[in-house]
Structure 1
Amino acid sequence: MAAQQDPRLELAVRHLGPVTIQRYPSLPPHLLLLTDTSGTGYVVKQHRDPDRFAQEAHAYTAWIPQLGDRAPQLIVIDPAASLLLLTLLPGRSAAILPPGSAAEQHAHRAAGLTLRLCSIRSRRRTTAQPAPSTWDGGCARGPTAPTPQT
């Protein structure tokens, strides 16, 4: 009997072709970092909580496209398996920046600008588009490349 394949990897191969798994010990187990044959980075997220999956899927379809290259781009959603395949943004998590540093202040200003952009663009939506009922600010978040362990 063949070993069961990881559904995150199956989704990525189905939509991207051959990929290489990028191993980071500190990465949460529901995330899988990959690169395609050209070196482009991707992340596959698998949610356990259906409500959280629905919220994030909604954010990536309704809000994230408005942010352009300021946010990861959605490649595909697999609702049956609660999977999201996303592009990976270059950078690092703001959580590792020294508290009070200029870099941390810059990250906060950039996040504020992104939230402002979300707010401005959401007000421009037509009344024909329903407003999200459970939006939690997810438009300012997205996966970034983790800092490699040394």
Structure 2
Amino acid sequence: MRSLALFGFTLCVCLFGSEARIYGRCEFARALANLGVPRNQIPTWTCIAQKESNFDTAARNWSSGDHGILQISQIYWCTEGGGPGKGCNTECWRFRDADIVNDVRCAQKVYNEHTRLSGDGFNAWTTYKYCRGDMSQWIQGCF
């Protein structure tokens, strides 16, 4: 019976994508750099990720409908249970797995749209109020 339960868990993981993970501060900052995020934005993104999700890719805010390490909103940017769609053309659950490539790409899209609208793309995240100004301490010792 135990092996059957283990098989079920393994099957579930295989069918529903990679497991979530919790990043370290520097690990997340380096991942952003590897994905081509401008170096001057990495400290702010790192602060936002810590404040939004504590670097947990599985984070979900049931009240607001935000998903993943950067808390992408299902109101405008991802679709919950209805196939790809909305601004990032992605299903919301994809922001809650270990792969942060789509999270970062979508966050950049959100950032660019809010830069166009307000002049500061980080304004899209409510936690930005804690991440303004010199955030260099967020990447200290990481590179």
**TM-score (norm. length: structure 1):** 0.29
Q: Which has the larger share of strand?
A: 1
Q: Which has the larger share of helix?
A: 2
**TM-score (norm. length: structure 2):** 0.30
